[in-house]
Structure 1
Amino acid sequence: MLDRSLRSVLSRPLEATAAAIDRPWISPDGLTITGLVLGVGSAVAAGFQLWWVALALWLVSRVADGLDGTLARRRRRRVTEDAAPPPSHAGGFLDITADFVAYGATVVGVAFGATTGYGAPWWPFLLVLLAYYINGTAFLAFSSIAERSGRTIDDGRSLSFLGRIAEGTETIVVHSLWLILPFWAWQIALIWAVFVAVSATQRIVAGYRALR
């Protein structure tokens, strides 16, 4: 829901940062892997109830996740200007895979830390993972079929993304809230599972209508 607005706000800072780090030894894929490692590290820290460490790692991992695409697009523009062969789509594949791993790992890490530290129940976090599974299936299936049928949605990302109420921005915020308020983590998880489930339903309906 907020991704487009946030991208417009952060586009200039991200472009400036990407220009500053645009060095031969720094690659978009390297930033993606860095974000993944930091995201998994955040999950591990949350599991050990190192909440502020987990929050710092999580936020830095999301910055790296935002920079990888910005740097890739910057280099793609330069490649186009130089009339060189176009880049592959491997980076986009790596990026979405890393996001799914980081999101899922964080849910598990927060669940473990909250259940052991605050006696929170497991089932709200399981509902979040189920909602993530359905939501991810819907938009990945739509992106694949849309590509084959010539009905892609081009918003600068690697996939045809059906934006709805639960997108990347909301996910970052909610995962941050878990780490700031771990004693309320399971209640936040329950509300978030509902939001993601509604978003998944919206994507299923919108994707079906778009592909008819």
Structure 2
Amino acid sequence: MLDGWARRKLDPLLNRIAAGVARGGIGADAVTLAGCGIGLAAAALVAVGWFGIAFVLIVLSRLADGVDGAVARINGPTDLGGFLDIVLDFLFYGAVPLGFVLFDPAANGVAGAVLLFAFYVNGASFLTFAVMAEKRRLVSTARGSKSLFFTTGIAEAGETLAVFLLACLFPAWFPVLAYAFASITLYTALSRIVLAGRELR
């Protein structure tokens, strides 16, 4: 939901950064891998309670996630790049809640498990719809040019980032944030299932 607004605001900045990165001979896949590495470092810092530094690294990781697509548009997208982008995004999205669970299993364990369950269901609905859409040669530009069919929803990258950053600022709120965002994420998955029932008959 936030992604469309954020894209309009951030694309000029991301394009400028990407132009410099591409001129330096750095490919989109390298940016994707670097962004994932930074994100995993953030999750590790969450697990040991270094929330302030984790906050900064999460922002940098998601900045890289935006730059890699812009670099790919300059150099030309590849199927491998699209694959890595999605898989490593999911790795990041799972790692940060796991970090909060490891930080305080007693307080965060159940809430973290519920959030990861919601991510699992939502990810399955997103990727399966994309496969079926490709089979039917459907096209979507709702979030710009993507390597696969991109269905939108309430819970997207922008909302996920906001929840992770709020949890870093207010770690004691993680259970409440996790339960609330799990509900939103499951609603997004349900809406995609309804969409599939309408579009894929």
Q: TM-score range by the shorter chain?
A: over 0.9
Deviation at 1:37, TM superposition (A): 0.5
- 2:97–2:112 CA contact under 8 A, matched in 1: yes
Deviation at 1:111, TM superposition (A): 1.9
Q: Which amino acid aligns with 2:129?
A: F
Q: Of 86, 89, 96, which residue of structure 2 is paired with 1:99?
A: 89
Contact preservation (8 Å) 2:108, 2:174? no
> For residue 111 of structure 2, what is the aligned residue in structure 1?
124
Q: TM-score of the superposition, structure 1-length normalised? A: 0.90
Cα deviation 1:36-68 (Å, max 9, x = unaligned): 101110110000001011111111000001100
> Is residue 88 of structure 1 aligned with residue 75 of structure 2?
no
Aligned to 2:99: 109
* Partner in structure 2 of residue 83 of structure 1: none
| Paired position in structure 1 for 2:179 | 190
Conservation of the 8 A alpha-carbon contact between 1:45 and 1:54: yes
Long gaps (5+) in structure 2:
none
Which position in structure 1 is the counterpart of 2:170? Answer: 181
**2:129 corresponds to 1:139:** no
- Whole-Å separation in 1 of the counterparts to 2:13 and 2:44: 30
Unaligned runs of 5+ in 1: 77-86
Deviation at 1:25, TM superposition (A): 3.3
For residue 25 of structure 1, give the secondary structure of its aligned residue in structure 2: coil
Report the equivalent of 2:154. 165
Instruction: Tell me the SS of whatever aligns to 1:136.
Output: helix
Query: Do the aligned partners of 1:45 and 1:53 also contact (CA within 8 Å) in 2?
Result: yes
Shift of 1:88: 2.8
In the alignment, which of 153, 157, 166 is matched to residue 140 of structure 2?
Answer: 153
Q: Distance in 2 between matches of 1:59 and 1:206?
A: 32
Between structure 1 and structure 2, the one with the greater Rg is: 1
Quote how far apart the aligned CAs of 1:153 are: 1.9
Distance in 1 separating the partners of 2:15 and 2:108: 42
Contact residue 58 and residue 165 of structure 2 kept, 8 A:
yes
Asked if 2 retains the 8 angstrom alpha-carbon contact of 1:110 and 1:179, the reply is: no
Task: Assess if the C-alpha contact under 8 Å between 1:143 and 1:152 holds in 2.
Answer: no
Percent identity of equivalent pairs: 36
Stretch deviating more after TM superposition (92-101 or 16-25): 16-25
- State the shift of 1:24 in Å: 4.7
